[in-house]
Each structure stands twice: as C-alpha cells, then as structure tokens.
Amino acid sequence: MDFNLTPEQEAFRDEVRGFLDENLPPEDERDAMFPLRWSKLVREKRWVGFSWPEEVGGGGGNIMEQAILKEELASRRAPPLGSCIMGLAWVGPALIQYGTEEQKQRFIPDILDSKYQWCTGYSEPDIGSDLAALQCRGERRGDKYIVKGQKIWTSLAQWAKWMILLVRTDNDGRTKHEGITCLLVEMDSPGVTVAPIANMARQPFYAEVFFDEVEVPVENLLGEEGQGWQITIGALANERSGISEVSGLLWELDRLKELARASTRDGKPALEDARVRRRIAEYETRIAAMRFNGLRYLTKQIKGERVGSETSVNKLHTAYMEKYMAELAIELQGSYGCLAPGTSHAVQGGRWQKEAFTWATAVIGGGTPNIQRNIIAERILGLPRD
Ligand SMILES: Cc1cc2nc3c(=O)[nH]c(=O)nc-3n(C[C@H](O)[C@H](O)[C@H](O)COP(=O)(O)OP(=O)(O)OC[C@H]3O[C@@H](n4cnc5c(N)ncnc54)[C@H](O)[C@@H]3O)c2cc1C
C-alpha cells in the first residue's frame, strides 16, 4: 500500500495550506461574523460541494482531493464548508443521485449557497433504530401525496425550510423496507407543526414534527415511489465515512494532552501517571485505526466501489472517543470539572463540559453504537442475524 501523495495531490495540499495560512485566523481570534466571511470565501473557491459534479455547481474535485481538503481544514479547526448542514451532508448527494433535473436546479444551488437549512424526518416515537418499521403515512391522491403522522428528534426542524422525509406509501411489501418513499417537504406547508425539544445543555436543537393531512406535490417525490430505503441507506453511509473526523479528533487529543500536562496527580503532572498515559495511548491508537479505516474506504471510493456497512466501524470509534475523551478531561480537572462552560474558572473555556453535554449527537444521532455493532456483526463478519 502506498501512503504517499502524488505530485499533483501534494500541489493541491500546498494550495489548501497556503489559503488557510492567508485566510484562517487562529480559533481565539475569530469574531462572530467570521463564519459568514469564511462561507463566502470557500464558496468562491468552489470548495463547498467540492466533489459534486460541476454541472450542478459543485467543485468537480475528485474524492482524494476532497479528503485532502477536509483533512487540512479539520486539522486547523476551520468552520464547516457552508452552513447548510444536512443539505451538504446527504440531501445534496441524494439529489445528485436520485433527483430529477428540475429538483437539482431547484435545490442544489441553494444548498451550495447555504441559503437555508434542511432537516431530516426519519425517526418516529418508538421507531429509531428499527427505522424501516416507520409508520408516518403518505397517500397518493392525484398529483399530491397526503402526509399524516409524526416524526421526532428532528434536528434543526424549527429553523429548517425543507425536510427530507420518509413515509410509508405501501403496507403490502414483502419486507418492511419496501413501501417506504422519500418526499421533499416545505416546512411551512399547511398542516406541519413543529414542537421544539431541548437537550440536556438546554439547547432546543430537536423537535417533534406533526403532519396533519399535509399536501406534498408529486414533483417533490425523490427517486421513485418505494425507493426510500435505498436512498436512505446511501445517505446514512455518506454520513459515516469519517476520514475528516480523524484530524478533528487528533486536535482534541492534543488539547487533552495539554490538559494532562497542566493537571497534577500525586504531585506530578497527570501526563506522567501510568493510568492516564494508558488511556491517552488507547485513544491515540483508536484514532490511528480510524485513519487507516478511513483510507481503506477512500481507496474503495477511488476504485469506484460502493462504501457501505464498513463505515460503521469508524462511527463506533467516534462515539467512543467523544464520550471517553470528555470523561477523562473532566476527571483530570478535579473540582473544576463541575464548572459550566464559559464561567470564569472553567478549564479550557469549559470545552470538555460542552462536549460531555452534547456527546449524544455523535453517539446516538445517525444510529446508536449497538446498531453499529449489529451492522458490523451481521453484514461484515457474517454472524447470525439479531
Ligand atoms: C443528537 C441527535 C440528533 C438526532 N437527529 C435526528 C434527525 O435529525 N432526524 C431523525 O430522524 N432522527 C434524529 N435523531 C434520532 C436518532 O436517529 C435515534 O434516536 C436513533 O436512531 C435511536 O433511536 P431511538 O431513540 O428510537 O432509540 P431506540 O431504537 O429505542 O434504542 C434504545 C436503545 O436500545 C438499543 N437497541 C435498539 N435496537 C437494538 C437492537 N436490535 N440490538 C441491540 N440494541 C438495540 C439502542 O442501541 C439504544 O441503546 C437524533 C438523535 C440524536 C440523539
């Protein structure tokens, strides 16, 4: 296996580094308006949707260049490329693969310009891990679908203009995966009600969304009726590829080492304590494993092969890292560990407390660790079904 970059890839990496040196101030020097300026700059560079085809307004970059770009950005803690989080993560790729020409023209430029947010209507009360059992109904009547039912845990719903929604259009399929359809729904359609839910950090990032006979024009059907499961699997695998997360985690690990160096255990820097060292070494090893896994997925993508279940391995590592690195950091802080983020004596600005409050995002969102283990066991190791 050759880990070296080609001369062209090295030139691209140097271009990215040069741009970052010139345009990206260190984190503590960025003002509140910086993300906006940054979004414009990277859009002008055509780095938003960098690997999307040029015909739809993307950068036309190849997969390897995209990985280099994301790795460099993450290692400098750059803001995301565009603020349309779900639009860029999976709605856009799903539109590129399954959308009609009209849908692509209508939605993709706005996603690239981060004009508004998209939200994702998959989970329902009592239906999360077993997503294919979803019950929200979509009934075709003439040139409309009539949607009736409820979704829950819908991130960003109260700010989103559009939702990518899964509904059941047919109950007669041989399996529960059949008869699921994907619709694009405007959130201000009559009959849509959003009821925000706050997380334990009191951030109202999620919502219940109710659909009471909501009319969705048939031109907002994504793919074909009954193709919703296939579209979703592709979308979630997109979410799980994970190579760029490695640089972000390495950056966090450096902060953790700094903290261990500055904290004391038995009168000595905690970084000299064998148990602390062992835990940090374990995290470092996991990150290294994630990087090699990420490179393996990348190799498959470069060869034009589909990346699927194997991305669950990195999703599982990420969940572990988010939770356990924050736990160790708070433990190292002793009594200071109980201070709220942003308070005067909070260590490292309280970043680890913030992390501890929001770990569920990385751990549960997109599929819980148990579900990732099931995927690995059944689809990769060929063990009997759960
Ligand atoms: C931060 C965050 C953001 C989210 N954003 C969205 C969003 O935007 N849109 C959306 O649709 N959903 C969203 N979700 C919902 C998320 O996808 C679901 O919470 C998740 O899939 C788990 O489903 P559940 O909550 O119903 O838990 P359950 O499926 O009820 O699981 C409960 C527990 O049982 C375990 N379990 C379940 N089935 C099995 C099994 N077969 N084998 C072993 N263990 C099992 C699970 O691992 C878990 O520990 C979000 C969740 C979070 C936390």
C-alpha–C-alpha distance, residues 215 and 148, integer Å: 9
Residue nearest to atom 13 of ligand 1 (CA): 153
C-alpha–C-alpha distance, residues 47 and 112, integer Å: 10
Same domain, 347 and 253: yes
Is 101 a member of any domain? no
Count of domains in the chain? 3
Asked whether 361 lines ligand 1 (CB < 6 A), one says: yes
Same domain, 219 and 248: no
Which of 37, 191, 199, 170 has its CA nearest to residue 114? Answer: 37
Its domain, for residue 52, covers 7-83
Same domain, 143 and 172: yes
Asked whether 107 lines ligand 1 (CB < 6 A), one says: no
DSSP of 173-240: -SSTTTTEEEEEEETTSTTEEEEEE--TTS---EEEEEEEEEEEEGGGEESSTT-HHHHHHHHHHHHH
How high is the pLDDT of residue 2?
A: 74
Asked whether 129 lines ligand 1 (CB < 6 A), one says: yes
Question: H or E element: which one contains 162?
Answer: strand 160-168
Q: Which of 83, 102, 136 is the last residue of a domain?
A: 83
Residue nearest to atom 23 of ligand 1 (CA): 128
Residue nearest to atom 44 of ligand 1 (CA): 370
Asked whether 122 lines ligand 1 (CB < 6 A), one says: yes
Is 29 a member of any domain? yes
Same domain, 34 and 126: no
For ligand 1, the distance from its centroid to the CA atom of residue 363, given in whole angstroms, is: 9
For ligand 1, the distance from its centroid to the CA atom of residue 124, given in whole angstroms, is: 10
CATH number of the domain enclosing 142: 2.40.110.10
For ligand 1, the distance from its centroid to the CA atom of residue 370, given in whole angstroms, is: 10
Same domain, 280 and 199: no
Same domain, 209 and 317: no
pLDDT tens digits, the chain, 386 residues: what are they?
Answer: 678 899 999 999 999 999 999 999 998 899 989 988 999 999 999 999 998 999 999 999 988 898 899 889 988 889 988 899 999 989 999 999 999 999 999 999 999 999 999 999 999 998 988 999 999 999 999 999 999 999 999 999 999 999 999 999 988 877 889 999 999 999 999 999 999 998 887 888 899 999 999 999 999 999 999 999 999 987 666 555 566 678 889 889 999 999 999 999 989 999 999 999 999 999 999 999 999 998 888 888 888 888 888 888 998 998 889 889 999 999 999 999 999 888 889 998 898 998 888 887 778 877 899 999 999 999 999 999 87
Model pTM? 0.89
Same domain, 279 and 166: no
Asked whether 117 lines ligand 1 (CB < 6 A), one says: no
Q: What are phi and psi of 349, to 5 degrees?
A: 70, 5
| Region of residue 78 (left: phi > 0; alpha: psi -120 to 50; beta: else) | beta
Q: Which of 83, 103, 128 is the last residue of a domain?
A: 83
Is 134 a member of any domain? yes
Instruction: Report pLDDT digits (tens) over 76-108.
Output: 889 988 899 999 989 999 999 999 999 999 999
Give Dmax (Cα) for the chain: 76
For ligand 1, the distance from its centroid to the CA atom of residue 171, given in whole angstroms, is: 23
Asked whether 153 lines ligand 1 (CB < 6 A), one says: yes
Q: Which of 58, 83, 108 is the last residue of a domain?
A: 83
How high is the pLDDT of residue 367?
A: 84
Same domain, 160 and 67: no
For ligand 1, the distance from its centroid to the CA atom of residue 83, given in whole angstroms, is: 24
Asked whether 195 lines ligand 1 (CB < 6 A), one says: no
Whether residue 215 lies in the annotated active site: no
How high is the pLDDT of residue 377?
A: 96
| Region of residue 26 (left: phi > 0; alpha: psi -120 to 50; beta: else) | beta
Is 143 a member of any domain? yes
Q: Which of 15, 139, 225, 239 is catalytic?
A: 239
User: 10 Å Cβ neighbour count for 81?
Assistant: 21
Same domain, 306 and 191: no
